[in-house]
Amino acid sequence: MHLVRTFIAITAATAVVVVLGVSAWVVNIGGKDVLYRSDAIIVLGAAQFDGRPSDVLQARLDRAFELWKLRTARKVITTGSNQPGDRTTEAQTGRRYLLSQGMSRASVIAVAKGTNTLESLRAVDHRLKDLGATRVTVVTDPAHMVRSLIIVRDMGYEAFGAPTRSGAGSKLTFTYVVRETTAVLRYVFLQRTGIL
């Protein structure tokens, strides 16, 4: 009985350490910019309303546009499908927004597949291969950055993060960090291994 209690205590303590460690990782990486030149900037999708970016999506697109103007990459890839009833996609909305800001048509690629981060990045993988890309910059919210980078690196790319610094989604709130800590653990232990 003593051995069982010891095992349970050690298991629980280990789980707490892992969760706290991943949470600290989410906060740490979310606070860092790594602005190297890359082959493409990937903008993770977020909600859009009949062709108008939500505040969260606009913050991500503005960040990508800023990086493009700094010439950190020549291509920007917008991502995200649509919800039932939507007349357009997150990716197409993002592309139109960037074109309205002055980007050239050849510079913006819309990949309108995927209803979550993993699906969207897997769809982007095909376009990156077409471009011959090996290095990418990921633009998303700070708390969302760790999971996004893990997925892109698992696909074989050298990946850098450029999180949003202002606007909706840019705060490392307790709720967002908890949600992303759970999502990172789910990806690493279940999705990456093919269990889910």
Specify the pTM: 0.90
Residue 165 lies in a domain: yes
Q: Which domain holds residue 122?
A: 33-170
Residue 131 lies in a domain: yes
Residue 116 lies in a domain: yes
Across 32-46, 95-109, 177-191, the highest mean pLDDT is recorded for 95-109
What domain count does the chain have? 1
For residue 160, name the pLDDT band (cuts at 50, 70, 90): very high
The candidate with the shortest Cα–Cα distance to 177, out of 55, 14, 19, is 19
Residue 62 lies in a domain: yes
Residue 8 lies in a domain: no
pLDDT at 137 exceeding the cut of 90? yes
Residue 60 lies in a domain: yes
Residue 193 lies in a domain: no
Alpha carbons 39 and 5: distance in angstroms, whole number = 53
CATH, residue 124: 3.40.50.620
Cα 31 versus chain centre, distance? 14
